[in-house]
Structure 1
Amino acid sequence: MIAAKGSLPHRIAGRVFFASMLVMAVMGGYIAALAEVRVSMLAAALTAYLVSSGGLAARRADGEAGILEWLVLALGVSVAAYGLHLGIEARNGHADVLDGTFVVPAAIYFVFSGIAAFGAVSDAWTLARGGLKRRSRILQHLWRMSVALYIAASSFFIGQQDVFPETLQGSFLLQLPELLVIGLLVFWVLRVALSKRYRGQRLAKADQRIEVKSPSLRRNDGFS
């Protein structure tokens, strides 16, 4: 998230991040299934969906979409439906209980479901358009990877505070990593959205043609 998008350090770190996050999500989901902790199963499935779809968005060429997009769309819809089901059950008194005391609020299930639903709608839009241009692809990649990282960071720093010294448990310091992820996400979304560097190739080439033709156009119009 610090390196420039598309640079060599970013690509190398991205490959390591992609593989490690998928392994973590699969293993975490499997352990959660054995322990029958459904909220963790949902979080693991959502993380796997975000990372896989975000990685796919970065690897696609402009205007390219295929069978893999249909697969991640199906995964996103499934995660959204599962989260909605768990949220309704939680409202009816069948929520997960963590550490024997904390009852998971229904809102958490609905938030996870909403994120997956938003991604699925975006995937459907991508398929309807036959692929996305450069800036849109990067934004898709950016928010999905960042949200997945936020889920992993919050699950560790806030959800597993017992692994930290007692002086840190419950302190604001354990919230800093999550805030850093959100801050970097906002920064890069604005950077990509506003910078000319991330415009589509077709638009950039059109601008180059205009720049090449503009001197002769000015001379013909008598302005030089």
Structure 2
Amino acid sequence: MLLPIHVVAGGLAIVLGAVALLAKKGGTVHRRGGVLFVWSMLVMGITASVLGLRRGPGDLVAGLLAAYFAGTAWTTVRPTSPWTRRINGSALAVAVGLALLMLAGGVKFINTPGLNSAGVPFRTIGVMSLVIATLLLVAAAGDLRIMRSGMPRGGPRLARHLWRMCFALLIAAGSFFSIRERVAKVLPEPFTSAPMRALPILLLLGTMLYWLWRIQGRRTLPVPVRHDRAGSAARAGANAWRESPG
């Protein structure tokens, strides 16, 4: 029963992530789409991790990565509280553990000749493992910094939220578009070629870099965080986003 839940959650995550990324920043669609995206990613990541216990370590690691980046992106724009601190502390442990696992696996695969069952060279897998491990260590350093000094404000806080959300979406999109058979079940033949399957990934990376460039230097820009039931802080943050570039 977990596989259908995983597939549906992954599909919803891709759609909702695209909606949140393209919607007007700070608006209702952006906020609600982002929250639904996070929950979809958590469901997708948890089910992938459970399935990975039987199918192999690759699914397990990918599931934990998706849950880690989506979860920490969400806590970035939430008011600081004891439970967000606990989540960030647990996330830090997950990031460090995954980084060490990816480093060990990367070194092993780089020194392993031949191809895996999918026809991918083990050395290529090793290089990608080291790249992801490096990214996780950078993310873990950011987690440690906010645990010691508190959550940043303005541009740095938005950048942390943005790149982690985008990387979580990249995991979901890459899981789908990287396999031709999966794409062929949903999209017509012209969209199953390698260039067309790579296009969404490139567009996502380009969009992430674009927004990171647009928000750089916005050091005093407030973050749209809801502090009360009336949502006054959310409305103030939404107005700030509307006044920002883009």
Normalised TM-score (structure 1): 0.77
Aligned-residue CA RMSD (Å) = 2.7
Structure 1 SS opposite 2:174:
helix
For structure 1, the residue ranges without an aligned partner over 5 or more in a row are: 202-224
C-alpha separation in 2, matches of 1:157 and 1:3 = 23
Listed one character per residue, the Cα deviations across residues 142-185 of structure 1 (whole Å, up to 9, x for unaligned) are 00010111121122112x21131555443311111111111211
- Aligned-partner Cα distance in 1 for 2:156–2:174: 27
Residue 83 of structure 1 is matched in structure 2 by: 102
Alignment match of 1:115 (pick from 129, 135, 151): 135
* Equivalent in 33, 37, 42 of residue 61 of structure 2: 42
Aligned pairs, number: 197
% identical aligned pairs: 26
Matches for 1:46-85 after TM superposition, within 5 Å: 46-61=65-80, 66-85=85-104
Q: Provide the residue aligned with 2:214 in structure 1.
A: 191
2:194 partner letter: S
**Alignment partners' CA distance in 1, 2:138 and 2:101:** 14
Match of residue 182 from structure 1: 205
Give the match for residue 170 of structure 1: 193
Q: 1:50 to 1:41 in 2, by over 3 A?
A: same
CA distance in 2, matches of 1:50, 1:134: 20
Q: Does structure 2 conserve the Cα–Cα contact (< 8 Å) formed by 1:39 and 1:96?
A: no
Contact 2:154/2:223 (CA < 8 Å) preserved in 1?
Answer: yes
Aligned partner of residue 132 in structure 1, secondary structure: coil
1:56 and 1:95 map into 2 onto residues whose CA distance is: 42
The aligned counterpart of 1:8 is 28
Q: Indicate if the aligned counterparts of 1:42 and 1:112 stay in contact, CA closer than 8 A.
A: no
CA distance in 1, matches of 2:55, 2:115: 11
Q: 2:170 aligns to what?
A: 150
Letter in 2 for 1:181: L
Question: Can you list the C-alpha shifts for 1:42-85, whole angstroms capped at 9, x where unaligned?
Answer: 222211111111111111359xx733322221111111111112
Contact 1:46–1:112 under 8 Å retained in 2:
no
Task: Give the number of the structure whose alpha-carbon radius of gyration is greater.
Answer: 1
| Residue deviations 1:119-159 (CA, integer Å, cap 9, x gap) | 0011111122122213222111100010111121122112x
Instruction: Answer yes or no: is the 8 Å Cα contact 1:91–1:106 preserved in 2.
Output: yes
For 1:40, give the aligned amino acid. D
- Give TM-score, length-normalised by structure 2: 0.71
Counterpart Cα distance in 1 of 2:80 and 2:26: 13
Letter in 2 for 1:102: V
